[in-house]
Structure 1
Amino acid sequence: MLGSIDAELKLVVAGNHDVSLDEAFCAELRKSALSRSTHEDSYAAVASQAARTMWLGKRARDVGVTYLEEGMHQFKLRSGAKFTVYASPYTSFFCDWAFPYAAHEDRFNPSSASLSDADNIAHNPIPDRSDNVIDIMVTHGPPFDRLDRTDTGDSVGCPHLLRATMRARPRLHCFGHIHEGWGAERVRWAADADEVSHVAQSTQEWKTGGYERGIESAERISVNREKMLTERAVFVDLSKRSGVALEAGGETLMVNAAIMDVQYSPTNAAWVVSLDSPVS
């Protein structure tokens, strides 16, 4: 399916349902499944290796698919446009799925920027904007209070990821995981966002208002449902040609691109976003 899409570059990140791509998780499953036969354990190991071979192998490369491991990635297109992507498949522990971390664990910030009560486990922390400009962030899960509300109204995104996003301030942060959160919003960061994203406070203090001073405004992108059904997508143009270009470093377009709705039916439209990129 991805191979049939007319695009020069197709980037893929795993998520909590992609169990076979999380080798550590599969290994733990095999250890804990004492009732499984040796044959079943062997099959699980083979399936895990086969999944990674498919996404990282020649077949994927030949159709322009790049599987993103957690960390930083740089790309250059034939047009000369270049951009940097930070990717992570990890989400806060939920129902024993793949790529998990505990709610009190910070996977995205250096220890110097972690919340005071967080256990820092970051192997590939997101750098500050001043250190290494990130154009695009692709994570499976959402940051806290950004398109992360469940059908019960709870915000279940990651507070540590929000802190990291505020530090990095990419042009685009794309995620999914919370199906009900489908949508997009244009976030303008406050002038003192750097200070806010480094101030010492607990996770509870951060979630109950500590982060708010770092966000000047958040404007939800309106969706024309009739047009969306006709075009089978939602188009957002924030390039210079639109007259409402995104301010690099000052704004981030947040997109919850979950195709599945809350009933696990693939009915949500895709988002097609136009942004300016630096040219080498």
Structure 2
Amino acid sequence: MTTDKPFIEEQDIMPHRSNTNATTRFVCISDTHSRVPPSNSIPDGDVFIHCGDLTAHGKLSEVEETFGWIEALPHPVKIVVAGNHDYPLDRKCHGANGHYRIIRAGTRWEEVEELVAGLKERGITYLCHESTTLHINGKPWNIFGSPRVPLFGSSAFAYPKSEPNPWTLVPTNTDILITHGPPHGHPKPKGRHGCPLLEREVLERVKPKLHCWGHIHDDYGVEVFEYGESGKGKGKSSKSPKKGVVEEEGGGEVRRTIFANCAAPWAGRQCQVFDIA
């Protein structure tokens, strides 16, 4: 479900505290590919984020199963974007010229629309290249989520180089940016893949507090990017403390973006957890 313009929506979320500081805890995961970890292994927090690739084989039944797992999690706020494997959720994969997996399975777009339309009532915010504002712990958070990735093979939600830069639609007031694919070169020093257009928009214009994604399984990790006076600054990498939490305090003179690849928790990795003011 792609849109030409970001859709802005505001929702009120009941107050919840998972830590003692004046921060909001974001628990981030990606690329579960139908191999979801046990619910009791997911850290508690205010916001649960899934950065896409819910499915292993692009089946609607896999999408439904993963949404059911997310619905059952205790986090007050749950945000999901799709990924390049989640063919049923991409309108362009349907129809006579759609993706062979959709055609072979006989999945109807009307089924998908009905599923997505019911997610809000199930406590799940689904974002498809669009924005929302959520009020969490008495504070508004501007969040943009997108499944879009550069064209490679037969991916869902893919954009070719000939298409206008899709990332100009990310609002400049975005606090939390959720994409399925990475910005080019992040997280350092691992990041060797990703979209240069996305990196440019993030570093030069948007500068969110947190940018989380998945897609490239081998690049799992965290980087804290510190902006200089020119607005670009220089990046530096940091590893999560032993507790698995990265804390970012607000109100300081130095502006930072936390970059996080959250892919493949089934490979023995923990969720990425961030306390952000």
- Shared topology, TM-score over 0.5? yes
- Contact 1:259 1:270 survives alignment (8 Å): no
Instruction: State the shift of 1:72 in Å.
Output: 1.8
| Counterpart among 170, 174, 198 of residue 126 in structure 1 | 170
- Aligned-residue Cα RMSD (Å) equals 2.8
Calculate the TM-score normalised by the size of structure 1: 0.65
The alignment covers a number of residue pairs equal to: 208
- Contact 1:86 1:137 survives alignment (8 Å): yes
Letter in 2 for 1:6: P
Distance 1:222 1:273, change over 3 A: closer
1:41-86 CA-partner distances (Å, limit 9, x unpaired): 496351x3323322331xx334311111212211113x31211011
Distance 1:154 1:252 in 2: 15
1:75-132 CA-partner distances (Å, limit 9, x unpaired): 113x31211011111001122110001245443344xxxxxxxxxxxxxx123x3xxx
Structure 1 gaps of 5+ residues are 111-124, 194-213, 228-233, 240-244
Matched with 1:173 is 211
What SS class does the counterpart of residue 94 from structure 2 fall into?
Answer: helix
Instruction: State the shift of 1:29 in Å.
Output: 3.9
Matched with 1:252 is 257
Calculate the TM-score normalised by the size of structure 2: 0.66
Matched with 1:137 is 177
Distance 1:76 1:181, change over 3 A: same
- Contact 2:187 2:237 survives alignment (8 Å): no
Distance 2:253 2:92 in 1: 37
Distance 1:168 1:154 in 2: 20
Matched with 2:94 is 26
What SS class does the counterpart of residue 166 from structure 2 fall into?
Answer: coil
- Contact 1:13 1:67 survives alignment (8 Å): yes
Letter in 2 for 1:108: P
Distance 2:163 2:251 in 1: 32
Matched with 1:52 is 113
Matched with 1:157 is 194
Distance 2:240 2:140 in 1: 29
- Contact 1:246 1:252 survives alignment (8 Å): no
1:125-177 CA-partner distances (Å, limit 9, x unpaired): 123x3xxx11100000000001388xxx7722100000111110000001110
Choose 1 or 2 for highest CA Rg: 1
What SS class does the counterpart of residue 234 from structure 2 fall into?
Answer: strand
1:219-243 CA-partner distances (Å, limit 9, x unpaired): 222454xx6xxxxxx222223xxxx
Distance 1:93 1:42, change over 3 A: closer
- Contact 2:186 2:259 survives alignment (8 Å): yes
Which moves more between the two structures, 101-110 or 160-169?
Answer: 101-110
Letter in 2 for 1:126: V
Letter in 1 for 2:262: A
What SS class does the counterpart of residue 95 from structure 2 fall into?
Answer: helix
- 1:65-76 alignment, distance < 5 Å: 65-76=124-135
- 1:78-227 alignment, distance < 5 Å: 79-103=137-161, 105-110=163-168, 125-127=169-171, 129=172, 133-147=173-187, 155-166=192-203, 167-193=205-231, 214-222=232-240, 224=242
Distance 1:165 1:13 in 2: 18
What SS class does the counterpart of residue 197 from structure 2 fall into?
Answer: helix
Instruction: State the shift of 1:179 in Å.
Output: 0.5
Distance 1:270 1:246 in 2: 26
- Contact 2:184 2:194 survives alignment (8 Å): yes
Distance 2:198 2:254 in 1: 17
Greater relative contact order (CA < 8 Å, ≥ 6 in sequence) = 2
Letter in 2 for 1:251: R
Distance 1:65 1:95 in 2: 30
Distance 1:95 1:267, change over 3 A: farther
Higher relative helix content = 1
What SS class does the counterpart of residue 76 from structure 2 fall into?
Answer: coil
Matched with 1:268 is 269
